[in-house]
Structure 1
Amino acid sequence: MKRILIFDDDADILDILIYLLEENGWVVHTRRDCSDLLATVERCEPDIILMDNWIPEEGGIVATQLLKSNERYKDIPVIYFSANNNIKALAEEAGADSWLAKPFDLNDLEAMLNTYKQKASD
């Protein structure tokens, strides 16, 4: 089973994603802030991370940069997601592997996750 770690402070989005992803065979871990980021990633051992831009504490950009600068976690794909108009630029600044604008189509999310899931299996 693939594991996903989602950082988002919106409980409704987390509830929807938990339901959808668990139905599709993912083990889902969620956090509503980025405190203890590296310890959380170590504990969850995710195959992929969804990172919101407006996550409390460091914020999505700093949190993603921290992950990508860490030798142990830099290869975990991070999908940056936000309702910002400039999501692509924010994702690039953060060093994320991909991005998804909110509100997003659940089929688009599934397709993106399946792409990374397939890459991990290759």
Structure 2
Amino acid sequence: MGKRICVLEDDDDIREVIEMLLNEEAYEVTGFASVSDFVKGGKGLMPDLFLLDVMLPDGNGIDVCEMLKSGEHTAYIPILMMSAHSTDELVKESCRADGFVAKPFDIDELIRKVSQAMSIN
């Protein structure tokens, strides 16, 4: 079984594309559309990577990133942040993410960044 990735992205189309791309790369992907769905459904998930959107309908990925990096069992798991409205520099100032993916993203760049982040773990 491949490495596991948890995706938090509110745009259904983007989330589905990400899931499809990562599944084709032999990753096992679990997706969530909101912070509340993530908190409810993500309990007990121990993925090898979190891929979090910054702007979400009921919160933001920055807060989720900090919650995960402060968690005893999730602090070591790499996190990539995604945003169409933020920058790498702003995200690095706001949370302890391990990387950043600008949207719209290049497919090859997304896969490369996911692979690099996985090597952190």
Identity %: 31
Give me the TM-score of the superposition, normalised by structure 1. 0.87
Q: Deviations over 1:58-81 (max 9, x none)?
A: 311111111111111111111000
CA contact (8 A) 1:61 1:91 kept: no
Give me the TM-score of the superposition, normalised by structure 2. 0.88
2:22 — aligned with what?
Answer: 21
1:6/1:91 CA distance change after superposition, 3 Å: farther
2:75 — aligned with what?
Answer: 74
CA distance in 2, matches of 1:77, 1:12: 24
- Map residues 60-99 of structure 1 onto 2, 5 A cutoff: 60-99=61-100
CA distance in 1, matches of 2:111, 2:11: 19
- Number of residue equivalences: 120
1:55/1:24 CA distance change after superposition, 3 Å: same
CA distance in 2, matches of 1:83, 1:14: 14
Q: Deviations over 1:15-73 (max 9, x none)?
A: 11111111110111000001164554333321101100112323111111111111111
CA RMSD of aligned residues (A): 1.7
In structure 2, stretches of 5+ residues that fail to align are: none
Query: 1:116 Cα deviation (Å)?
Result: 2.5
In structure 1, stretches of 5+ residues that fail to align are: none
Could you list the structure 1 runs, at least 4 aligned residues long, displaced by more than 4 angstroms after superposition. 36-39
CA distance in 1, matches of 2:60, 2:3: 25
